[in-house]
Structure 1
Amino acid sequence: MYAQGQLVIDELDIKLARDGKNNSELVRAVHDVTVTDGLLNIELKASKGQAILNALVVRKTTTTSVDIQTSNDWELVWNDEFDYEGKPDPNKWSYDIWPAGKVNDEDQTYTDLLENVQVKDGNLIITAHKEDYGNAKYTSGRIHSQGKGDLLYGRVEVRAKLPKGQGTWSAIWMLPSDPFKYETTCSQDEDWQGNSTCDAWPNSGEIDIMEHVGYDMQTIHGTVHNKAYYWVNSEQRKASFEGETVDQAFHVYSIEWTPEHIIVFFDETPYFFYSNESTGWEAWPFDHPYHVILNLAIGGSWGTAGGPIDDSIFPVSMEVDYVRVFKPLP
């Protein structure tokens, strides 16, 4: 896709971007397109088949960034600036210590080792290694704020630099702090993650602030999952953004969440909008507290969708400068 004669979306594999589901929607956003003559020129070129565009939304770029911490609209209620050394603050974070394959067919095991999750030089560093550990050929880290930094409505900001390399699958996301809120097939307090007989997921929801897979380096993704709309039924609700230097520089990944909508941002540019249809919990399970999760997966169903893991990339890290949670001021 070309805008104003410049290539803005390159080598977009439509079927792959739709998770292999032909009927799924596909939304792709770009930014920094300059129009000087009052006319926006868009050109689609297909390498195979015919290029099709269903709709085009154009928004004016905001030229001044808002300092949320000093804004009259938001109050900082929970944060970690990672201004210390060693393991993540146990008053704010907990580890998921899992074997390979527990969720999403991921190839790594998650540990609480310092080599996998460490706070150093002002950043949280989650590092994946190629090494034999338990049942896995790779190790990495996954931490969460459940019970320590839960949020119902507000804004979440995470400033991060993402890893590079085929096979990486980094994520900044949210899960319900009570995963059994809308389940219909689970036993209370059972291990529901990776459990095919328990429908806590997707029933109770998931909010993905950022996902990134290394075989598609220039693209980041914002998504919501729920009973009505998720990839299994070809009804996924998500959008993707062309963010060119995600492995070379820090960017801010954020959401704003109200009872009416969820908006996902890349560096203050909104690109994914999901509205409350007021049709019930199946489409809007986002009415109870959620918590933040930070992880770097290796391989898995999405990490290897573009090809096998490149073992030459290790060790590889996701770096997080800060996590900030805000509530709207009355």
Structure 2
Amino acid sequence: MRKTRILLAAAVVAVTLTGGLFAASRNDNADAAIGGITWQDEFNGAAGAPIDASKWKFDIGGGGFGNNEQQYYTNSTSNVSTDGQGHLAITARKENPSNLQCHYGTCQYTSGRILTADKFSQRYGRFEASIKVPKGQGIWPAFWMLGGNNWPATGEIDIMENVGKEPNTLYGTVHGPGYSGGEGIGGNRNIGQPLSNAFHNYAVEWSPNLIVWYLDGSEYFRVTPASLGGDQWVFDHNFFMILNVAVGGNWPGYPDGSTQFPQTMLVDYVRVSAWTDGGTTPPPATGGTALKSNFSGRCIDIPGGNAVDGARLQLWDCNGSTAQKWAPQSDGTLRGLGKCLDPAGGALTNGTPIQLVTCNGNPVQRFTLSAAGDLVNVSANKCVDIKDWNSANGAQLQLWDCGGTTNQKWTKA
């Protein structure tokens, strides 16, 4: 079970007051230059509809999550669904009786925790969400990020945390080796009224050696390597996002007679934008053309524009981005964002997923678009095929015997 934050409000305040935590001068590091949107979810599903499984997955269970929390996280639409009004609803419910087993016995509460792990991650950029938090003693909503499963070595960035006993206060925090749990480095803002009264925009802008926290567009905290007192800075690799509503725990305390259930966190949108360095590094080559499916009208796309080795290519609405530009090379490869179209594992059998990998000279990375519109792997003499005839965004690609069907036909766009 993944460990998570054990942040104590008193610890953050103590660090701030004793001078162990300080904000860098605005001249110490270059602020992030924010580019276009690389990932987003606007939650426009019907009332009671499940979340988009191409973007999110669930954490399920009641293990306390390192904080002695009392909820059991489910994948039920009674806890996580869209509300039909353009929002995600994560709802904590009191279950009486409940047969769901937690680490301390029978769970009294259910709730939801969703994450983009294995679906989307990104290094640097702007990560933001518009959220109306729930309220009540013992209620603990959060919007945060993890850098991997080896916590705290791979880092944690808490974009928004609120605890019901402090309804007016927003917390933003980082955790890493030597500054995890109650030693997390963070800042906060008290807005003078409950955050649960309205939607607010919670964001971080993250660039090399600098993370800046914003509430409704106003900066309230920043951290640099110098803020860590000599501990290791571990915020230079991809992170994925998490949304959840916890019930109880070491920091927020536990529900009491004043706490009303159910309690729902509403999320209007989550958006991620790219980071650029203001032109110091040349952008990826924009040569090449999109490859549009004759079957769905969507284009072959690098998920999130993230050119990581092993990224499974997908279909997505054609948008003209560099993540959808494919340039044929003299060596027979087809390249996007500087890497090669590749059959996973070098396999050439039916059903082999199509991925993005560093170009390595292996003949299996040679593809050609025939005059008939077949995108053929030369070594296998098989076609790039839309798996399961899926016409939706996020549809996966595979190798398959060329059959002349429309889910194997492609047009330059």
> Does TM, scored on the shorter chain, surpass 0.5?
yes
Find the partner of 2:15 among 25, 42, 55.
25
What residue ranges of structure 2 are gaps of 5+ in the alignment?
1-7, 26-32, 102-106, 280-413
* C-alpha distance in 2 between matches for 1:77 and 1:56: 31
Question: Structure 1 counterpart of 2:268, which letter?
Answer: D
% identity of equivalent residues: 40
In structure 2, which of residues 174, 178, 182 is the aligned counterpart of residue 228 of structure 1? 178
Q: Does 1:316 align with 2:308?
A: no
What's the Cα RMSD here?
2.9
Q: 1:68-106 deviations in whole A, cap 9, x for unaligned?
A: xxxx94210000001112111000000000124233111
Contact 1:109/1:133 (8 A) holds in 2: no
Aligned to 2:288: none
CA distance in 2, matches of 1:303, 1:226: 21
Instruction: Please state if 1:175 is matched with 2:146.
Output: yes
Alignment match, 1:298: 247
Q: Alpha-carbon deviation of 1:229?
A: 2.0
**Match runs of 1:132-281 below 5 Å:** 132-135=98-101, 136-176=107-147, 178-179=148-149, 200-232=150-182, 235-243=183-191, 244-277=193-226
Once the two structures are superposed, what CA deviation does each residue of 1:180-236 show, in whole Å capped at 9, x if it has no partner?
A: xxxxxxxxxxxxxxxxxxxx221111000000000110001000001132345xx43
Letter aligned with residue 267 of structure 1: D
How many Å separate the matches in 1 of 2:21 and 2:203? 25
TM superposition shift of 1:303: 2.0
Runs of 4+ residues deviating >6 angstroms: 52-57, 278-281
1:238/1:280 Cα in 2 relative to 1: closer, same or farther (>3 Å)?
closer
Alpha-carbon offset, residue 26 of structure 1: 2.7
- Identify unmatched segments of 5+ residues in structure 1: 1-15, 28-51, 60-71, 180-199
Cross-structure match for 2:352: none
Aligned length, in residue pairs: 251
Q: Secondary structure at the match of 1:216?
A: coil
C-alpha distance in structure 2 between counterparts of 1:241 and 1:280, whole Å:
23
Given residue 204 of structure 2, which amino acid in structure 1 is its aligned partner? I
Q: Which amino acid aligns with 1:114?
A: T
TM-score by length of 1: 0.70
8 Å CA contact 2:70–2:249 kept in 1: the answer is yes
Q: Which has the higher contact order (CA 8 A, sep 6+)?
A: 1
Q: Which has the larger radius of gyration?
A: 2
**Against the structure 1 CA distance between its residues 280 and 303, is the aligned structure 2 distance closer, same or farther, given a 3 Å change threshold?**
closer
